[in-house]
Amino acid sequence: MVLSAAESCPIVARGAGSGTRVVRVGDVAIGGPEVVLIAGPCAVESEPQLEAAALAAKEAGCRILRGGAYKPRTSPYSFQGLGAEGLALLRSVSARLGLLVVTEVLDTADVDRVAEHADMLQVGSRNMHNAALLKIVGRQARGRPVLLKRGMCATIDEWLLAAEYLASEGCHDVVLCERGVRSFDPSTRNLLDLSAVPLLRERTRLPVVVDPSHGTGRRSLVAPMALAAVAAGADGVMVECHASPREARSDGEQALSPIELLALGSRIRRVAAAVGRAREATDGSGR
Ligand code: PEP
Ligand code: MN
């Protein structure tokens, strides 16, 4: 028997007439009229590195800083992140600059600690299918919203069911993040599925954010695909940035420089206006 979306995902499916759920991260609303820009380094490497990236994010008008403390690396010999020290740096730098923090939780044992330090928890692509982690995050997120990235080989249905895992444990404030799927073509790191944005709009009440950094893996493609995501109706965009991309310990080839991020911030504002949206209000100078 094939279940309808409403039957298999009773909480996250878009029922007849129901609007997009507005998910609040601190005082930032995702899923409302404003398009939200989230930026920061792939990984927290040091205080000066995080601070420089966070300043660039703030200047580009971001209210939410991203940055990995626990990094899910393909190789065990690659930089694994600073762990608890990275979380503390995220907290102190964001507090100093008046930013909110989203960071990934990799392990069920770290959920409490990450929820204590972050304003939003991220479940990454490699863990989207990890039901044990989803259940603990759903239960122990302490009221924090969750950014749920699409598994790199996940169908839309599997992704929505992963969101339903969180919701069924009590965490209804879930934002979906399209980050590309595996394809046959190594020209890009992943194949960014922008058709997922309007499709999800039909299928779920949850807001949708797009990550063109992991979606393409190439700096030159990040801004065009970020703008395309906004044109397709995304509620937000998440990008990686680094003050010296060539020195980044992970994903430097897809990191925007501060100047590139600033330019993207104002271009997003223009595309958002063209499709009847606005950029979120900001204290930064990148208006
Ligand atoms: C990230 O956003 O830090 C990340 C590791 O991305 P993904 O889970 O999409 O690969
Ligand atoms: Mn990365």
Full-model pTM: 0.96
Q: What is the pLDDT of residues 215-274, one digit of tens each?
A: 999 999 999 999 999 999 999 999 999 999 999 999 999 999 999 999 999 999 999 999
Q: Is residue 187 part of a domain?
A: yes
- Shortest-distance Cα residue to atom 9 of ligand 1: 125
- Shortest-distance Cα residue to atom 6 of ligand 1: 124
Question: Is the Cβ atom of 68 under 6 angstroms away from ligand 1?
Answer: yes
Pairing between β-strand 34-40 and β-strand 278-279 as defined by DSSP bridges: parallel
Three-class secondary structure of residue 67 per DSSP: coil
Q: 51 is in which domain, residue-wise?
A: 29-71+79-273
Q: Is residue 14 part of a domain?
A: no
Beta carbons within 8 Å of 27's beta carbon, 6+ residues apart: 63
Q: Is residue 13 part of a domain?
A: no
- Specify the residue for token string 């007849």: 16
Question: Is the Cβ atom of 124 under 6 angstroms away from ligand 1?
Answer: yes
- According to the model, what pLDDT value does residue 251 have? 98
Domains held by the chain: number = 1
Q: Is residue 283 part of a domain?
A: no
Q: Is residue 21 part of a domain?
A: no
Q: Is residue 278 part of a domain?
A: no
Element (H, E) at 208: strand 208-210
Q: Is residue 238 part of a domain?
A: yes
**CATH number, domain with residue 235:** 3.20.20.70
Q: Is residue 53 part of a domain?
A: yes
Q: What is the pLDDT of residues 153-188, one digit of tens each?
A: 999 999 999 999 999 999 999 999 999 999 999 999
